[in-house]
Chain A
Amino acid sequence: MKTIYLDNNATTKVADEVMEAMLPYFNRLYGNPSSMHTFGGQVGQRIRDAREQVAALLGALPEEIVFTSCGTESDNAAIHSALMTRPDKKHIVISRVEHPAVRALCSHLGTQGYKITELPVDKNGLLDLENLEISLTPDTAIVSLMWANNETGVIFPVEAAAKMAHDKGILFHTDAVQAVGKIPINLKNNVIDMLSISGHKLHAPKGIGVLYIRRGTKFSPFLIGGHQEKSRRGGTENTAGIVGLGKACELAVKNINTENIRVKQLRDKLERELLKKIPQSRVNGDIQERLPNTTNISFEYVEGEAILLLMNELGICASSGSACTSGSLQPSHVLRAMGVPFTMAHGSIRFSLSVYNTEEEVDFVIEKMPAIIERLRGISPFWNQVAQACTNQ
């Protein structure tokens, strides 16, 4: 059975070019870049190239790029550094819809004497900058807001938010894990201090990430050890991963238009047709301020995990904000923060596309989804009542 992969916000395929670029660094060029001999030292040059490739995608300087092991490490390192370099400040501002890498860290810090403000979002998942303005105090060390939401794709006005924080002398970090490679980013045009990237969300492998640290920003390392990454992150470099991420960033520069034109068209077609063919369905999240590859659709009166498993039978991969998929009692914190009724949240499915998806794949999903939803609604004790109520009107 063919796999139709529409779960690219969870992880992505390693691009063939990336894989090819990485392979020599496992068994041929396996030297340690810190070594004195040429055999190791030559790898250092490739790391410098990769650093430039990443910097080019972000409009950053190569020395502002620090390689880490993942997005979560980058997020932790950024917030940790802000607190270490501003030890007198005990207040952190985040949003209610942040990724667990930020949210769980902050709720932990909340038990260690820090005060956390979680900014609300509106019903479309959008952030009101007025709420940010009000939340900032002389005690605020850092504001950390995601650039784009992983579940809904909704984009936050992080550049304006960064300026607002900066004007008050507060550091600004953004988890841009979902945004990088999907929307144009140029760090020359804003005052963002730190930004997190995860390799495996943009066709590099898992196990490699980046923390961008703007030149001049005081930094206190999270992993203390060797002198690697100019002593900003100890630990022998993941050379293959770094080379792979560099290549992936180079591809992302080339693909950013495809992402925003062709991928967006496919996403729009999928969304439009599913809403048209399946009654009682709706999109979660603002449809304008949104990543080009993501759509989060709720199918009322059915439960997300059951939908996913029936899709799985056809080789279609996606994810859900339903409680049952996480083992918790409540559906997704993002949908709850938006005030999506539980009845809708339980039946939410996130489709996230990439440049590797084809129109045939999207058409196949459009063809198969209505029957899946109908089948589960046929088992649902609520659907009959609703269907009747609708025909009576």
Chain B
Amino acid sequence: MWEYTDKVKEHFLNPRNVGEIENPDGAAEVGSLACGDALKLTFKLDENKRIKEAMFKTFGCASAIASSSALTEMIKGMTLDEALKVSNQDIAQYLGGLPDEKMHCSVMGKQALEKAIENYRGAPALEPGAKIICECFGVTDKEIERAIRENNLATLEDVTHYTKAGGGCGNCQDAIAQILERVKAEPKAETKPKLTNIQKIRLIEETIEREIRPSLKHDGGDIEVIDIIGNRVIVALRGACATCRASNITLKDFVEHRLRELVSPDINVEEASK
């Protein structure tokens, strides 16, 4: 059982400011059903451009709900610049602390706030004409079309690998299939020139060196190429990555994704057996 503070319990059992403001000045949704955490935040400003009202709706565990409730209480009366300075540590502190494993719940509140303020300040939430297809991951038709075109995607599975679309509840899979049909029917743009094996191996190594290793190192991890057989790239994760629970996600969603994008859409990344 989690050791929640009384304040976390209290905000979970009696959450403040639940709901959605009609005609809000700023609004944002972050997370998804599939991730297990999602938050919708809306706020309204008063005549002095201070936050008059903030409301939330959250799908998630007790700490996600309590963090959302705390956030909406904390930012009331603040200017947007002040509100942007509220950190996830501030949210956790307000609640008397959160278990380490639950800190991501407070990060979600912070992200929603940033996005809602962006939304108020006029950053375009969606590119013009785009429509959300995958509700779980907030992927638009334009993004899916682009991914299909640029990477020559053929199947629904490919689209999910590249964009996450369709990977949650699966309700949008028919819509994605229709987009696939439509884009595939378009006249083909010229494809990338075919690489020789040597060129491909060199390009894989360069891409890992330039695009992938720096980000992994940033998180205390590292990657080593063990072998390249045709389109199979066999790697070993080192450092923090080697013991990370999410290493498979790193491998597929990051390493493979980048290599497919920058080298060839046929690349498959595998982890060397330990």
A interface, CB within 8 angstroms of B: 110-111, 301-306, 309-310, 313, 322-325, 327-329, 331, 341-343, 346, 378-382, 385
- Given A343-B169, A378-B18, list of 11 further CB < 8 A pairs? A110-B273, A302-B59, A303-B59, A303-B61, A305-B61, A306-B64, A309-B12, A324-B36, A324-B60, A341-B34, A381-B40
* B window 109-153: CB within 8 A of A: 135-136
Task: Tell me, rounded to whole Å, the shortest Cβ–Cβ distance linking B43 to chain A.
Answer: 15
Task: Tell me, rounded to whole Å, the shortest Cβ–Cβ distance linking A332 to chain B.
Answer: 12
Check B38–A381 contact: CB distance below 8 A.
yes
Check A381–B13 contact: CB distance below 8 A.
no
Residues of B within 8 A of A111 (CB): 274
* Bound complex: CA A301 to CA B64 (Å): 14
* Bound complex: CA A302 to CA B58 (Å): 9
Judge if B256 is at the interface, Cβ distance under 8 Å: no
Known: A323-B36, A342-B34, A343-B33. A329 touches B61 (CB 8 A): no
Task: Tell me, rounded to whole Å, the shortest Cβ–Cβ distance linking A301 to chain B.
Answer: 7
Judge if B219 is at the interface, Cβ distance under 8 Å: no
Task: Tell me, rounded to whole Å, the shortest Cβ–Cβ distance linking B27 to chain A.
Answer: 11
Sort chain B's interface into a size bin.
35 or more
Task: Tell me, rounded to whole Å, the shortest Cβ–Cβ distance linking B52 to chain A.
Answer: 21
**Which A-B residue pairs are the 8 nearest by beta carbons?**
A324-B61, A327-B101, A305-B61, A381-B40, A381-B57, A380-B59, A342-B34, A343-B33
Task: Tell me, rounded to whole Å, the shortest Cβ–Cβ distance linking A378 to chain B.
Answer: 7
Check B18–A379 contact: CB distance below 8 A.
yes
Residues of A within 8 A of B168 (CB): 341-343
Residues of B within 8 A of A304 (CB): 61
Residues of A within 8 A of B9 (CB): 309
* Bound complex: CA A156 to CA B62 (Å): 35
Q: Could you give 13 example pairs across A and B, Cβ below 8 Å? A: A111-B274, A301-B33, A301-B59, A303-B36, A313-B13, A322-B36, A341-B168, A342-B36, A343-B34, A343-B136, A346-B33, A381-B29, A385-B135
Check A380–B57 contact: CB distance below 8 A.
yes
Judge if B245 is at the interface, Cβ distance under 8 Å: yes
Task: Tell me, rounded to whole Å, the shortest Cβ–Cβ distance linking B82 to chain A.
Answer: 25
B interface, CB within 8 angstroms of A: 2, 9, 12-13, 15, 18, 29, 33-40, 57-65, 99, 101-102, 135-136, 168-170, 245-246, 273-274
Check A341–B62 contact: CB distance below 8 A.
no
Residues of B within 8 A of A313 (CB): 13
Check A379–B57 contact: CB distance below 8 A.
yes
Task: Tell me, rounded to whole Å, the shortest Cβ–Cβ distance linking A112 to chain B.
Answer: 10
Beta-carbon nearest neighbor of A323 in chain B: B36
Residues of B within 8 A of A342 (CB): 33-36, 168
* Bound complex: CA A328 to CA B65 (Å): 18
Residues of B within 8 A of A302 (CB): 59
Residues of A within 8 A of B37 (CB): 303
Residues of B within 8 A of A328 (CB): 245
Beta-carbon nearest neighbor of A328 in chain B: B245
Check B59–A382 contact: CB distance below 8 A.
yes
* Bound complex: CA A378 to CA B102 (Å): 22
**Residue among B59, B102, B245 facing the most chain A CB atoms (10 A cut-off):** B59
Beta-carbon nearest neighbor of B33 in chain A: A343
Task: Tell me, rounded to whole Å, the shortest Cβ–Cβ distance linking B116 to chain A.
Answer: 13
